[in-house]
Amino acid sequence: MSDFDTLKNNIRSHERDMVALESLLTAHPALAPENGGDGELEKCLALEAWLTAQGFTDLKRYDAPDERVSAKIRPNLIATVPGKSDQHRIWIMAHLDVVPTGALSQWQTDPWKVVEKDGKLYGRGVEDNQQGLVSGVFAALSLLESGITPAYTIKLLFVADEECGSAYGANFLLEKHAEIFRKEDYILIPDGGDEKGETIEIAEKHVLWMQFHTKGKQCHGSRPNEGKNACLAASDLALRLNDLEHFFGEKDPLFTPDHSTFQPTKREANVDGVNIIPGDDLLCMDARILPRYTLEEVQAEIKNRLAAVEAKYGVKIEATVLQAGQSPATSADAPVVKALAAAIKAAHGIRARTIGVGGGTVGAGFRNKGYDAVVWSTMDELAHQPNEYCKIENIIKDAETLAALFLQE
């Protein structure tokens, strides 16, 4: 029997233990203070105790201070499995925090108690990101229980604060403990993917969220000539912002959709009566921009369009950047991409392909620091939805892929 067959058999023998670990983790709601929670410590302690009981001996915490939570810290935990070589390490990074449940009326089960039905586990966080966490843990556990030393050192990283920006999680580690990472390391984030597990995310669109406060002059609806209609000006602005999709109109098949998007989104109430011309309007935009354009050139064109609207309607528009982010792509030829693709092929006969995404991931923080990072998993993408579930078979399959990755010389 090959080492891979040994690990595969071990992984499949732990199906019920995977369900049990998912249940344990879900029972400890790990909500950020921004989401009305008290952080991830209780969940981290439960996981740390579980790992110790299973034989993991090299565990280390890197706690980020946070006065907003009762423990005053946000935990980041690393479990290490030494390899034959430490030339590079393979990082499997999952996050401990989850998002709120939303309206409980939309749930068919208790979101904080795992319910198993038809091969699926239901509960908040079971997929996002406990599926990837559990897959990584049991792939590593199969090495310990089988007495097989991986080709390279394995680092299981469990971080805080992914759902609210990573300031107390991955970004904290990159800023305050950068010495734990090496540029030659493989960084794999099992926190996004597709139902077949065939897509490896290597790039993100730039993100630009903006707010536009249009200030005109309020007046009676029957005498618009006496005012300056902020609603009308903002509506014109919304169309001009959306037209940026044509101005920055190049396409890239790596992404879906394959072009930059500029979408007017949130709009706040302006006046209380139908017969009132608004003198004030607040509009927001969510833009996802292909990496071939810079945020600087995009914002310069936005400024030109604001000026045109101001001149046409006699209003003033205050533009505020709510969020902006950009990062380089991981090369499709990077060692981590090739190694993961080979592991997917070896474990399941699937030919992987590289993609880019419009949403932001924690991988951007690593790419901005010069590390090659990829996002991959086999999942139905139920993140943040009511009745979130993960398939047990997906946990097993991804653990098998990771086992194949761990054995690569």
Q: How many helical (H) and strand (E) elements, i.e. helices and strands, does the chain have?
A: 11, 19
Residues 6+ apart with CB under 8 A from 49: none
Tokens 């049991």 locate to 138
Query: Which residues, at least 6 apart from 129, have a Cβ–Cβ distance to it below 8 Å?
Result: 94, 95, 162, 190, 191
Burial class (CB in 10 A: 0-12, 13-18, 19+), 119: exposed
Q: State the Cα–Cα distance between residues 387 and 380, nearest whole angstrom.
A: 12
Residue among 97, 161, 198, 201 flagged as catalytic: 97
CA max distance for the chain: 86
How far are the Cα atoms of 187, 231, 273, 293, 346 from residue 280, in angstroms, in the given order? 47, 7, 14, 32, 60
Q: Please calculate the CA angle 29-35-41 and round it to the nearest 5 degrees.
A: 40
Cis ω for the linkage preceding 278 (within 30 of 0): no
By C-alpha distance, which of 280, 259, 251 is closest to 268?
280
Catalytic site residue from 127, 128, 161, 162: 162
Q: Is 97 a catalytic residue?
A: yes
The answer to whether 277 and 225 are in contact (CB under 8 A) is: no
* Residue whose token pair is 């699926």: 120
Q: Which of 183, 151, 28, 23 is nearest to 86 (CA)?
A: 151
**Strands of 4-130, DSSP E:** 59-61, 64-65, 73-74, 77-81, 85-95, 115-117, 120-122
Catalytic residue ranges: 97, 162
